[in-house]
């Protein structure tokens, strides 16, 4: 049986989630959470101590986490970006965005609180610059990220035995960002954005901070270099 600490990363099939799982695998046994079972299995085969944990995060139940008795790190990286002006955004778009970006995060955290409490664990929420500033055309997404920041603040105040970190990256070179730029009608240039590895490094810095350090919020902006 492994004596290494355990981390669960959602959205681990690609992008920031996959990069974070790779970064944590050096020091943790990682549960790879997400919907794409094949992609998760492929990543698990690359990483020592990693296990695929395929699950629909918007429908997670107590049965899905029944075997997780202790959890040192929970990284919420899964999310969706549905863009549009308020005039264009339907109630269904709002519901889908909030369901994935907020409700699913809250419910998985709630279900895993006993496992986190057992070891004084750490919850990391990969948020966004949109969780600090809301811009035109980003209403439902920004609202979900403001709510995610509030969730983190409330969790930190309520669960004083845990560490809770919000990470707010600017634009990141991922498939999601390609879709965003296409929606905006621009030409894609990933070199202008953060890499997923840079965001993962920020998550790792928060996780590996000494026991006397509680990094509550990290903001990353691309240098464009």
Helices (H) and strands (E) in the chain, counts: 7, 7
Q: Could you give the CA distance from residue 58 to residue 10 in angstroms, rounded to a whole number?
A: 12
Contact 170, 129 (CB under 8 A): yes
Q: How crowded is the C-beta side of 68, counted as CA atoms within 13 Å?
A: 30
For the chain, how many residues are written? 225
User: What CA–CA distances, in Å, run from 154 to 104, 129, 158, 216?
Assistant: 16, 19, 6, 12
Phi, psi of 22 (to 5 degrees): -65, -40
Largest CA distance in the chain: 55
Residues labelled as active-site residues: 141
């Amino acid at each position: 049986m492994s004596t290494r600490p355990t981390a669960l990363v959602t959205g681990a099939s690609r992008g920031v989630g996959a990069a974070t799982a790779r970064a944590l695998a050096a020091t943790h046994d990682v549960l790879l959470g997400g919907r794409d079972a094949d992609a998760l299995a492929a990543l698990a085969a690359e990483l020592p101590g990693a296990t695929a944990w395929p699950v629909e995060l918007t429908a997670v139940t107590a049965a899905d986490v029944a075997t997780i008795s202790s959890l040192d790190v929970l990284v919420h990286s899964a999310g969706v970006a549905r863009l549009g002006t308020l005039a264009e955004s339907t109630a269904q778009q709002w519901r889908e965005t909030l369901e994935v970006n907020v409700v699913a995060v809250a419910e998985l955290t709630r279900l895993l609180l006993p496992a986190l409490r057992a070891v004084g664990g750490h919850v990391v929420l990969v948020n966004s610059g949109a969780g600090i500033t809301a811009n035109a055309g980003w209403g439902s997404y920004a609202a979900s990220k403001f709510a995610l920041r509030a969730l983190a603040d409330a969790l930190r105040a309520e669960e004083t035995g845990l560490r809770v970190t919000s990470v707010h990256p600017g634009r990141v070179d991922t498939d999601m960002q390609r879709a965003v730029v296409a929606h905006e009608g621009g030409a894609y240039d990933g070199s202008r954005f953060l890499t997923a590895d840079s965001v993962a490094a920020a998550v790792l810095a928060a996780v590996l901070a000494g026991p006397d350090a509680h990094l509550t919020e990290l903001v990353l902006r691309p240098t464009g270099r």
